[in-house]
Amino acid sequence: MTILPSGRAPRDVYRLMTALIVPRPIAFVSSLSREGMRNLAPFSFFTAVSANPPVVCFSPMIRGRDGSKKDTLLNIEATGEFVLNIVSEGIARQMNACSAEVPPDVDEFALSGLTPVRSEIVAPPRVLESKACMECRLLQVVHVSALPLGGSLVLGEVLLFHIDDSLFDGDTIDPGALHPIGRMGGSTYVRTTDMFDMPRPPLREKKD
């Protein structure tokens, strides 16, 4: 089967992409409005971009119902700061509660029951229950599409990592201790309980 995106409704294309691009890690982003209202929201269009300097990115989509920007994007554009909290299985239910569409004056920390903790460099709080958090400063926003279900790419430099000591196995992070979850299509999530190792092939020297 071949599918031409221009011949399908945006919602159908969204469902197709989120069913195929899996599993997706979840960026649980805390931000503050210019007036100081706390916001906490999950985004599964998320990855790392650079290690020198450390840069992460995520993509808040334009709302399909009215074409408006999400509060997270508005907050970051206004303040230039955010915290990226990693989602472990233990806070999956609370993370999902924060995915609800609520008015800007609703505090998702209070809504979900998660605990805000003062960050050390940026103003937005981090999530106490998250085992790993990254304090970030906005580098750039790339507006890809302003159409409903379009998106913007938010690039942020990681200024500070907060990592629970229990996650370390020597000098590396033990994924079995982190218990991260990933997003599949629809309402389906995945646990990282079935892992395997596959060493990268060694560098082959070029022959003269």
Whether residue 154 contacts residue 56, with contact meaning beta carbons closer than 8 Å, is answered with no
**pLDDT at residue 129 in the model:** 98
Domain assignment present for residue 197? The answer is no
**pLDDT at residue 208 in the model:** 64
CATH of the domain at 138: 2.30.110.10
User: CA 113, CA 72: separation in Å to the nearest integer?
Assistant: 19
How far CA 94 is from CA of 15, 28, 122, in Å, comes to 24, 11, 23
**pLDDT at residue 205 in the model:** 76
User: CA 67, CA 148: separation in Å to the nearest integer?
Assistant: 5
Domain assignment present for residue 199? The answer is no
Indicate the number of domains in the chain.
Answer: 1
Q: Which domain holds residue 167?
A: 26-185
Domain assignment present for residue 95? The answer is yes
10-residue mean pLDDT series, the chain (208 residues)? 92 94 96 97 97 98 88 97 97 97 94 98 98 98 95 97 95 92 95 90 78
**pLDDT at residue 148 in the model:** 92
Domain assignment present for residue 11? The answer is no
pTM of structure: 0.92
**pLDDT at residue 4 in the model:** 94
